[in-house]
Amino acid sequence: MNRLGISIYPERTTVEKDLEYIALAHYYGFTRIFTCLLSVEGSRQEILDRFQETIRFANDHRMQVVVDIAPRVMERLGVSYQDLSFFHDMGVYGVRLDLGFSGKEEAEMTMNPHGLAIEINMSGGTKYLENILTHRLNKDNLIGSHNFYPHRYTGLSDSHFSDCSRVFKQNGIRTAAFINSPSATFGPWPVTEGLCTLEKHRELPIQVQAKHLFMTGLIDDVIIANAYASEEELKTLSRLDPRLPTFEVELYETATELERDIVLKESHFYRGDVSDYVIRSTQSRVKYRQESFPPTNTPPIRRGDLLIDNEQYGQYKGELQIALQDMENSGKTNVVGRIVEDETFLLDHLQPWSSFAFVLKGQLVSDGAYFFKQKPPAPAEG
């Protein structure tokens, strides 16, 4: 099951604003919260006083709070890896080790009597996880998450992200990564040039970042790293279905009503006999084989174009395709629209034998459809 999360930084704001944000995120189906002690000053008691009310409120809203720490933070607070009762007293679901120990300590931490989750850093690219797994541990309490990178051009590359994430998935460890809210204004540090795991996400719309992470099949939980995301952004993410890749498209005026219906209303399935040139969804040519598909708009084809073969292509008429490469057009294929530019790279992550869908640009999903959103409370009697 995929999940959504937010981040809060109590030292940078007020309890009231954090509680309001948590309540709103809960309403839209978010179930994880990331927070950070790396940038927080104060004694044990001061930190407890600053965080406990907020964490208690999150727990009451069935949201799991993970707090980011490191050995130096634990040392400053007088906390041993053998005794995590301080974090239990905070009320958190788990602790995230931004920097870890030798592997033996992490394994022992998973055995803590409080059942705290131990989240380890996924971005290092070392044998860190494999080392931990060589020790006696409670694997059920071990999870992972990537870093986020406030400094422009320092985020992870695609290849490094994939290599690191794949190790965790292959070992059955739950994974998470961070995305950036363009409307949010702060994180744990003064530098906030967008807080994201992947560098390519820094300037992308928030829903495209989330779609990409889900489509990789490598990330279970997607967390907004900066605060506060707008309600519209939370709502947008709540309407994503991680199981059904959905592309935003623009349709041309030349597209017929039938062609528009094929794009927007029919179910689409990526045929398994893969081509380097197009993704084929062929059921429309079967369903509408008696219909007319006259030639309309037949310019040269570009990657990301939506194609429907016209009647000059004989038995292929009515078949929908997505162009994976620029190609010549023989005149037998109508170009009916195009995937929005921000999302064309997602085509590389669409897997054969998978279903997919299209929506008009700006619509995201069909009106009223939510995947993550909580059910609204029942009206009061009387």
| Average pLDDT value over all residues in the chain | 95
- For the question of whether the overall pTM of this predicted structure is more than 0.85, the answer is yes
pLDDT at 366 over 90: no
Name the token pair of 131.
């080392």
Query: CATH 3.20.20.70 spans which residues of the chain?
Result: 3-238
Peptide bond before residue 21 is cis, with ω within 30 degrees of 0: no
Q: What digits encode the pLDDT tens for the residues 76-116? A: 999 999 999 999 999 999 999 999 999 999 999 999 999 99
> Residue 223: which of 1, 2, 62, 381 has the closest Cα?
2
pLDDT at 178 over 90: yes
Name the token pair of 347.
């085509």
pLDDT at 367 over 60: no
Q: What digits encode the pLDDT tens for the residues 275-311? A: 999 999 999 999 999 999 999 999 999 999 999 999 9
Lowest mean pLDDT among 90-104, 194-208, 291-305, 362-376: 362-376
Q: What digits encode the pLDDT tens for the residues 325-337? A: 999 999 999 999 9
pLDDT at 202 over 50: yes
> Residue 307: which of 277, 343, 286 has the closest Cα?
277
Query: CATH 2.40.100.10 spans which residues of the chain?
Result: 246-360
CA atoms within 13 A on the CB side of 203: 4
| Residues present in the chain in total | 382
The residues near 172 (Cβ < 8 Å, ≥ 6 apart) are 139
CA atoms within 13 A on the CB side of 135: 17
CATH number of 3-238: 3.20.20.70
**Element housing 224 (H / E):** strand 221-224
Share of the chain above pLDDT 70, in %: 96
Q: What digits encode the pLDDT tens for the residues 59-86? A: 999 999 999 999 999 999 999 999 999 9
The whole-angstrom separation of Cα 324 and Cα 322 is 6
Predicted local distance difference test score (pLDDT) of residue 199: 98
**Element housing 283 (H / E):** helix 283-287
Contact at 8 Å (CB) between 215 and 350?
A: yes
Of residues 201 and 370, more confidence is placed in: 201
Work out whether strand 32-36 and strand 246-251 pair parallel, antiparallel, or are unpaired: unpaired
pLDDT at 382 over 50: no
Q: Please state the rounded mean pLDDT for residues 11-19.
A: 95
CATH number of 246-360: 2.40.100.10
pLDDT at 375 over 60: no
